[in-house]
Amino acid sequence: MSWCWFAALTRPLAREELVDASACVQATDQDGRPAGLLAAWPRGRRPLREAVRMDERLLDPGGPPAWVSLVLVPREVAPLFDDPAVSQAMRRVLAGPPFAAVSTLVRDAVHFAGAVTVGEGDQPGQLADDPFARLHPARILRVGPGLFGRLPPPAGPAIQRYSGKPWPAAGFDTG
């Protein structure tokens, strides 16, 4: 199990910045207003300075439109990944009703950069209870098709990262 790069972009982009992206979709907020782009790239060199690591199993080129809770913690206030509050959020994910998919986001070796939580169904209501939104305010977004798929709930009770991968990606391989 491995990871990919992910970014939520609201700034104007140069065409070449997305040339290697494996997926790129428009996002809107709950009122239908444009909320930028969500994009993903294969693992390798960081494609953009905003990019963070995400469990690549969330990516699905055939995935339907989805409601997403996006928590992106600014670098200057990012807690350690080992912070008890981050651990407790992962425990709540394991214990609670399952979402369609969840991945934490990793910016560097030690800090929690946020999480992507994909909701079940066609309504965003379930995402109001995103456990990671207790760590930093979440943006509820509607994203177009071709980015997120379903990922079965993480196997428990493990909540630790493997070699710095974003949870729940597992395995100590370096891929």
Partner 1 sequence: MADRFGPGGRFPDLELPDHSGNCRRLSELAAGDPLLLHFYRGFWCPKEQAFFRRLVQLQDEAEVAYTRFVSVSVDPPQVAAAFRAGLGARWTFLSDTDRQYQAELGLWETTDTVHRAYRPASFLLGPGLDVRQTWNGYWFWGRPTNEELRQSFRTVTMAIRPDWEVPAR
Q: Give residues in contact with partner 1 (CB under 8 A).
A: 1, 91, 94-95, 97-98, 152-153, 155-160, 162, 170-172
| Sign for the pseudo-dihedral over CA of 117, 6, 9, 112 | positive
Given the complex with partner 1, which of 41 and 167 has the nearer CB atom? 167
Nearest distance from C-beta of residue 125 to partner 1, angstroms: 18
Write down the least CB distance from residue 133 to partner 1, Å. 19
Least distance CB 69 / partner 1 (angstroms): 18
Output 61 or 171, the one with its CB closest to partner 1.
171
Which helix (H) or strand (E) is 106 found in, with range?
strand 101-106
CB of 41 to partner 1, least distance (A): 24
Tokens encoding 154: 């993480």
Neighbours of 95 (CB within 10 A): 10
Q: Which tokens in the block code for residue 60?
A: 């699905």
Nearer to partner 1 by Cβ, of 121 and 156: the residue is: 156
Judging by beta carbons within 10 Å of its beta carbon (0-12, 13-18, 19+), is residue 14 exposed, middle or buried? exposed
Q: Which is nearer to partner 1, 123 or 172 (CB)?
A: 172
- 34/96 with CB nearer partner 1: 96
Contact, 162 vs 170, CB < 8 A?
yes
SS3 18: helix
User: Which SS3 state, helix, strand or coil, does residue 15 take?
Assistant: helix
3-state secondary structure of 93: helix
CB of residue 159 vs partner 1: minimum separation in angstroms?
A: 5
